[in-house]
Amino acid sequence: MKKSYAGSCALLTSFPIQASVLTFDQKLDQLLQPVAELFTSIIFYSVEVAGVQFPLIVAWLILAACIFTFYFNFINIRGFSHSCKVIRGDYSDPNDPGELSHFQALTTALSGTVGLGNIAGVAIAVSIGGPGATFWMIIAGFLGMSTKFLECSLGVKYRRINPQGLVHGGPMYYLRDGLSELGFGKLGKVLASFFAVCCVIASLCGSNMLQSNQAYQQFVIAMGGESSFWVDKGWLFGSVLALVIGGVIIGGVKSIAKVTEKVVPFMAGLYLAAALFVLTYHYAEIPHAISLIVNGAFNPDGVAGGIIGVLIQGFKRSAFSSEAGVGAASIAHAAASTKEPIREGYVALLEPFIDTVVICTITALVIVITGAYQSGEGIDGVALTSSAFASVIWWFPYVLSVAVLMFAISTMISWAYYGSIAWSFLVGESKLLDLIYKVVFCFFTIIGASVSLDAVIAISDSMFFSMAIANIIGLYLLAPGIKRDLRCYQKRFC
């Protein structure tokens, strides 16, 4: 399977499936390959920097994060304490409009980002860029907090609440309505429609089929590999998964939030508990590991591109993991119960901190402290992370299999919601049309587990990061309005 640049990354090795299905895969891949190559060559166009290929889309995301960090006077650091107070419920009002609590909005958005990117993507970044990649990953994660603050504040500011109390918000709405207020109506409509189309495609393919495929592969590994009963039963696994996903998403965002507010904290807590156990076991080597990370960031040894090469690996992992700048998370945050858009922006800035600064960093530290990245056994991705944990906790690979499955499910249900909101933006609000989208989403879940469509995933990846192009253009234009709102909010509450 090709490496995917979507938030959760396709980093597992595909299992053989039935010959007849494989033939269909190959034919469909042949048909779509030229389109996939065209899209990928444009969106992931790279330039050589110090001998290392640097995708310009990563530069687009990181540059925006740097600019917004300075523009909002380091809101990512100065606003951290207030963010925690909001999550704790200090400012909650049951009479505020919206469908979700601040905590539910946060976990719903996190469920779309926390996943295999944190488990497998970090392993690849460290194995290629060395321990020093961790340092730059942390820096990029901190910077991304400012972008999340901006886009999610806008998500609430320009959301629409229908007479039934259902919320529709996200980049489609603030690009269209926000830019219209500034006199860029035509540009706003084009960017909003472009974003919505990309979001629907990304939700059906990369954030659904890909996750279904990965969950199936890891499940087969846990059940005994190629000798398992499930090895050629992708359609059956996908059908069961589709029933689970359908049972959640049919109920709308409130049903989704009820699942994510339990699954995300539980799985993240279990994963972090295992990581802390490994670090405690190796507590004497922690100072040395930190030294490797810091020194490796500025004085890398044997890494292609030197310091620039290490920096690029860290920045790539952070950008692909946190999705700051892509804009999808603002769809979830738009549903939060609040009258204050800025308040939800404070909540959202915690996402890259939890996803990248905490979970990704802990994963990297485990890989470094156990020396797994130096194994030289030709393993990477999930296998590398799994071997690092297994060196201390022999049964951890079984826990990891469950984590992969749960993270995949949580990602899928969040993106089903994102896609449904984008779909309604394009075709109009209708219960029937919304149901059609959700049925199609579940059908794609079955397909994803049954076949291996690399070209489809490549196209989806391109659509995913194309969202960032439209979104960040709008963020630059709309940032001054949020800055004024922030000053007013801080005078009243900070």
pLDDT digits (tens, 9 = 90+) for 143-197: 999 999 999 999 999 999 888 878 899 999 999 999 999 999 999 999 999 999 9
Residue 52 phi, psi dihedral angles, 5° rounding = -120, 140
Render pLDDT for 55-101 as a digit per residue (tens, 0 to 9): 898 889 999 999 999 999 999 999 999 999 999 888 888 888 888 88
> Which range is most confident: 84-93, 212-221, 378-387?
84-93
Report, as an integer, the average pLDDT of 323-350.
Answer: 93
Q: What pLDDT score does 199 carry?
A: 94
Dihedral of CA atoms 438, 443, 445, 447 in degrees, nearest 10, equals -160
Burial class (CB within 10 angstroms; exposed 0-12, middle 13-18, buried 19+) of 162 = exposed
Closest CA to 148 of 112, 180, 123: 112
* Residues 6+ positions from 82 with CB-CB distance below 8 Å: 346, 493, 494
pLDDT exceeds cutoff 80 at 42: yes
Q: What pLDDT score does 451 carry?
A: 73
Alpha helices in 338-453 (DSSP H): 341-348, 350-352, 361-369, 381-390, 396-427, 431-450
Q: Please report which confidence band the pLDDT of residue 26 belongs to, taking 50, 70 and 90 as the band edges.
A: low
Closest CA to 465 of 46, 160, 182, 146: 46
pLDDT exceeds cutoff 60 at 21: no
* Residues 6+ positions from 294 with CB-CB distance below 8 Å: 132, 135
pLDDT exceeds cutoff 60 at 11: no
Q: What is the CATH number of domain 19-493?
A: 1.20.1740
Q: What pLDDT score does 116 carry?
A: 67
- The more confidently predicted of residues 104 and 346 is 346
Q: Which long-range contacts (CB under 8 A, 24 or more apart) does 271-274 make?
A: 271/119, 271/359, 271/403, 272/358, 272/359, 272/362, 274/389, 274/393, 274/396, 274/399
Q: What pLDDT score does 14 carry?
A: 44
Three-class secondary structure of residue 53 per DSSP:
strand
Render pLDDT for 301-336 as a digit per residue (tens, 0 to 9): 767 667 777 888 788 878 777 888 999 999 999 999
Here the tokens at position 299 are 């004085």
Other CB atoms within a 10 A radius of the CB of residue 18 amount to 15
Contact 441, 204 (CB under 8 A): yes
Q: Please report which confidence band the pLDDT of residue 380 belongs to, taking 50, 70 and 90 as the band edges.
A: low
Three-class secondary structure of residue 157 per DSSP:
helix
Q: What are the structural domain ranges in the chain?
A: 19-493
Q: What pLDDT score does 322 carry?
A: 82
Q: What pLDDT score does 74 carry?
A: 95
Contact 107, 253 (CB under 8 A): no
Give the DSSP per-residue string, 196-232.
HHHHHHHHHIIIIIHHHHHHHHHHHHHTTGGGSGGGG
pLDDT exceeds cutoff 60 at 3: no
Q: Please report which confidence band the pLDDT of residue 32 belongs to, taking 50, 70 and 90 as the band edges.
A: confident
Report, as an integer, the average pLDDT of 255-274.
Answer: 85
Contact 467, 329 (CB under 8 A): no
Q: What is the mean pLDDT of the chain?
A: 84
Residue 288 phi, psi dihedral angles, 5° rounding = -65, -40
Helix (H) or strand (E) holding 160: strand 160-161
pTM of the predicted structure, to 2 decimals: 0.87
- The more confidently predicted of residues 48 and 243 is 243
Other CB atoms within a 10 A radius of the CB of residue 84 amount to 13
Report, as an integer, the average pLDDT of 35-54.
Answer: 83
Residue 338 phi, psi dihedral angles, 5° rounding = -165, 150
pLDDT exceeds cutoff 70 at 474: yes
Report, as an integer, the average pLDDT of 131-135.
Answer: 88
| 72-86, 307-321, 358-372, 404-418: segment of lowest average pLDDT | 307-321
Contact 480, 68 (CB under 8 A): no
What is the DSSP pairing of strand 46-49 with strand 52-55?
Answer: antiparallel
Task: Give ∠ CA 410-91-325 in degrees, rounded to 5.
Answer: 45
Q: Please report which confidence band the pLDDT of residue 378 belongs to, taking 50, 70 and 90 as the band edges.
A: low
- The more confidently predicted of residues 90 and 227 is 90
